[in-house]
Each structure stands twice: as C-alpha cells, then as structure tokens.
Amino acid sequence: MSSEKVVIVTDSTAYIPQAALGGFSIPVIPLWLIWGDERFRDGVDIDPPAFYRRLRGAKVFPSTSQPSAGEFQNFFRQTADGADAVVGVFISSKLSGTVPNAQAAQAQLPEAKVRVVDSLSTSMGLGFITLAAARAAAAGRSVDEVVAVAEDMRDRVHVLFAVDTLEYLYRGGRIGGAKRLLGTALNIKPLLQLEDGCIEPLAQVRTKRKAVAQMLDIAEERLEGKPMAEAAIIDVDSPEEGDALAERVKERFGISKVCRTTVSPVIGAHVGPGTVGIGFYAER
C-alpha cells in the first residue's frame, strides 16, 4: 500500500450520476457548449433538461469546445492542493482536444505531479474508467498503479449505442467511420460503438426496437461467457426507452444493479435526442 494521496479527476462528458459515485468526490472540469454568441460550461451553466428544451426549437445548432490549457492549469493547481498526485481521466483524444490541452497544462506544471489518461471513450465508458481509478486510489495504490488500473479498465469497457439519426454526429464532425452510413434510407437506425476512441458503425437496422435487440446480442458476444460486472444505460432525452432497456439488461444478464443516466449537453449535441446506449464490462 502506498502512502501517496492520489486525487482522481475527470471531465464533464463522463456525467457520472450521484448513485454511481459511491461516495467518491471526483472533481470535474467542464467542456464548453457554444450556442451562437453564448457560452455555457457543460453541466454547470446548462443541464440536460434545459439543453433539450432549447434544442427542440433551436434555429442555430450548438457547437462544443474543450477546456483551454490555461483552464487546465488552474484546475490541476486546485485539485493538487494537499495531494501527492493527480490522475486525470478524460474524453477520447479522437473525439476532443481535451487530452492534448490537459497534457499541455501538465507540461507547464512541473511542481505538480499530474498524470493524464486518454480514456479513448466518453459518457459512462469514461465514467467506469474514472471510477476504477478512484477505487484504486482509495485502496492506497501508488500513482503508477492507479494509472495502470485506469488503462486496464479502458481495455475492458464497451460502449454501444443506437441513434435516431446521424445528422448530429455529422454536423458536429464526430461521425468517424460511421460516415459511410450517410445517404442510407432515412428510416435506418444506425447501431454504433466506441472503438479505439472513435465512433464506428456496427450495423444498419430498420427500427429502433431491432437496433436495441441487436445491441444486446452484441453485448452478450462481447462478454465472452463471463458475467457482466457493471452496466450503465444511457439515454438522450428518451427516459422511457432507457428505463425499459435497463430492465431488459437486468433480466437478460442477471445483474441486479444497472446505472441509469443521461449524457451531458456536450455529448447530447453530438449524438442527438432519441439515442439509447449501454456501457458495460465483464467480470474477470
């Protein structure tokens, strides 16, 4: 056991619900939502209900941005106060400039022991990696061991999701390999995944119901016969669909507790209303 005090931090796109935190205090740096001339700190100045109400009638489409290196410097200084080290676990570098800016700030703070982990994920994929790091830190692991735990969980977590339309991913420039699905029939419901930090296509399905059924089949394949350790059901302005999916996951995979959450406004701006998904990993 190490005597180091290691603080775990993340960014707002993890959007870990209170029920999943398990008493951990994990400082969060917000990304930015830019709407015309207005700037909102993700999850601070605007929450999901307010965001979706405004999005429904919006004529101007919002964009997003990462925290600046200067914002990261201030954030790391604050969170490092009284700690031996800070481990920051952030949204995939292939989806956002958050990690490079965190690393730029890290380089300017030689007096603070800061380690940056590229989660290659977001939403509760990022959330599960962050929570694994927090548990390791609470267990008294050294900073190197905490980073190793986070990187190990990064390799184990899966995020699968179905969107109502590719329009939001396309307009936000985060479409990745799924761009080859553009131009398909409007009633196609794309089934997507986070793979190696990018959004990649899994299938084109005719209905949302079939997309969700196939999502669960793929989840079972990914488990490779092992029990599901933890799961999170994510919905974007579709709570009834999310609740129904959570019940199906409990019944199918024999897992008693399934985390229910939405996504932060920054992620919602890219995937769009009607998205439902699952983040999970298998027991060893």
pLDDT, tens digit, for every residue of 108-140? 998 889 999 999 999 999 999 999 999 999 999
Please say if the pLDDT value at position 183 is more than 70.
no
Last residue of a domain, one of 94, 126, 155: 155
> What value does the mean pLDDT take over residues 229-252?
96
User: Is the same domain home to 162 and 247?
Assistant: yes
In a domain, 261, yes or no: yes
In a domain, 1, yes or no: no
For position 186, what pLDDT does the model report? 52
Domain limits for position 215: 158-282
In a domain, 237, yes or no: yes
Within the chain, strands assigned E span 6-11, 28-29, 32-35, 38-41, 63-65, 85-90, 114-118, 158-162, 189-195, 198-205, 228-235, 259-261, 276-282
Q: Look at 270 and 167; give whichever has higher pLDDT.
A: 270
CA-CA-CA-CA torsion for 165, 28, 103, 145, nearest 10 degrees? Answer: -110
Last residue of a domain, one of 94, 129, 155: 155
Give yes or no for a contact between 172 and 267, defined as CB atoms under 8 angstroms apart.
Answer: no
Please say if the pLDDT value at position 9 is more than 70.
yes
User: Is the same domain home to 20 and 144?
Assistant: yes
User: Is the same domain home to 150 and 171?
Assistant: no
For position 165, what pLDDT does the model report? 73
User: Is the same domain home to 272 and 195?
Assistant: yes
User: Is the same domain home to 81 and 147?
Assistant: yes
In a domain, 52, yes or no: no
Last residue of a domain, one of 100, 132, 155: 155
Residue % of the chain over a pLDDT of 70: 92
Q: Look at 180 and 112; give whichever has higher pLDDT.
A: 112
Q: What phi, psi does 75 have (nearest 5°)?
A: -65, -45
Picking from 130, 129, 72, the residue whose alpha carbon sits closest to that of residue 99 is: 72
In a domain, 121, yes or no: yes
In a domain, 130, yes or no: yes
In a domain, 99, yes or no: yes
For position 177, what pLDDT does the model report? 46
User: Is the same domain home to 137 and 217?
Assistant: no
> What value does the mean pLDDT take over residues 192-200?
92
CA–CA distance, 270 with 171 (Å, rounded to integer):
8
> Which CATH number covers residue 112?
3.40.50.10440
> Which CATH number covers residue 244?
3.30.1180.10
User: Is the same domain home to 182 and 149?
Assistant: no
For position 74, what pLDDT does the model report? 97
What are the pLDDT digits (tens) for 242-270?
A: 999 999 999 999 998 899 999 999 999 88
Find the range with the poorest average confidence among 81-85, 172-176, 254-258, 265-269. Answer: 172-176
User: How many structural domains is the chain composed of?
Assistant: 2
User: Is the same domain home to 116 and 221?
Assistant: no
For position 56, what pLDDT does the model report? 83
| Identity at 233, one-letter amino acid code | I
Please say if the pLDDT value at position 141 is more than 60.
yes
| Identity at 159, one-letter amino acid code | V
Mean pLDDT estimate for the chain: 91
User: Is the same domain home to 70 and 195?
Assistant: no
CA–CA distance, 32 with 29 (Å, rounded to integer):
10
User: Is the same domain home to 166 and 266?
Assistant: yes
In a domain, 192, yes or no: yes
User: Is the same domain home to 139 and 213?
Assistant: no
User: Is the same domain home to 263 and 175?
Assistant: yes
> What value does the mean pLDDT take over residues 31-50?
95
For position 154, what pLDDT does the model report? 98
